[in-house]
Amino acid sequence: MAGATQTTTEYIQHHLTNLVFGKLPAGYQRHLPDGSVEVLERDTWTLAHDAAEVADMGFWAIHVDSLAWSVGLGVFFLWLFRRVAKRATTGVPGLLQNAVEWLVEFVDGTVKDSFHGRNPLVAPMALTIFVWVFLMNLMDLVPVDLVPWLLSLAGVHYQKIVPTTDVNITMGMAVTVFILMIYYSVKVKGFGFVKELTLHPFNHWVFIPVNLFMEVVALLARPFSLGLRLFGNMYAGEMIFILIAALYSAGFLFAVFGGFLQLAWAIFHILVITLQAFIFMVLTVVYLSMAHEDH
């Protein structure tokens, strides 16, 4: 929570700053947490101490927390589903097995309704996307100060635990889907994909530049809408949690009011995190279905 040594603005900025690993150039002046200044003698790869260093590290900086949490949740998903599959029984299923079977059937039914081609990769990928994105979104329900405070005891001063509030994660997944779209468009349609870009919607060679411009814009809009929609919704949700948490330092009455707000928003947010995972999965399936349609 925001304390006496930290303003509300600083509190919010702190929670929105990633743990970043990147390169600082030789001669860079680092302002250390103890107030001293360190001048780097050579190019140095290191963890950023503040938001200014994050900005100075540039494009090739790595968001360590986003990567660690996303990969960790992906590994947890694989371990959990493998464990359920190994212990599956033909008798009365347990609660976890029943939940996994229902989820698999739900995703399989959604794929059958939305995907009109033949590709054994699509259904498993849809299941992976839905569960993985849901788990990353679910981290938004963890109290905003809990994990950062625990890690600060170990000297880690920045930590964002919701990977989908990092545009690099959401756009990375969206670009992967875009690459698959292009790959299957070329594989299934061949030269027909070029004709689709150049002779649609106006089927005449005179309109090729117009058709190409409109189709390329529409094609590029898909990954941007896919990644930015998920990022925008989750970032806004996390921001509201942080703003509510800032009320706890404003006195007892504000703290009680903030507690009720936090609970209400968390209950509503359960719907948001599930819906955003579902939308990302469905749009992925629809885009891949369009890539498999050969007119």
Contact between residue 60 and residue 23 where contact means Cβ atoms under 8 Å apart: yes
Residue 193 Cα to chain centre, angstroms: 30
Encoded tokens for 48 = 């950023």
User: 34-52: buried (b, 16+ CB within 10 Å) or exposed (e) per residue?
Assistant: eeeeeeeeeeeeebbbbee
For residue 40, give the DSSP letter. -
Residue 213 structure tokens:
């411009």
Choose, from 98, 152, 203, 225, the residue flagged as catalytic. 225
Decide if 119 is catalytic. no
| Residue 185 a catalytic site member | no
C-alpha separations of 118 from 127, 184, 185, 189, 287 in Å: 17, 11, 13, 14, 14
Catalytic residue among 119, 168, 229, 289: 229
Is 289 labeled as catalytic in the residue annotation? no
CA-based R_g, the chain, Å: 23
CB 210 within 8 A of CB 202: yes
Cβ atoms of 24 and 43 within 8 Å: the answer is yes
Residue 44 near residue 37, CB atoms below 8 Å: no
Q: Among residues 158, 146, 10, which one has the least CA distance to residue 2?
A: 10
Plot region of 189 (φ>0 → left; ψ -120 to 50 → alpha; else → beta): alpha
Residue 105 amino acid letter:
E
Q: Which of 18, 66, 211, 233 is catalytic?
A: 233
Give the active site residues: 225, 229, 233
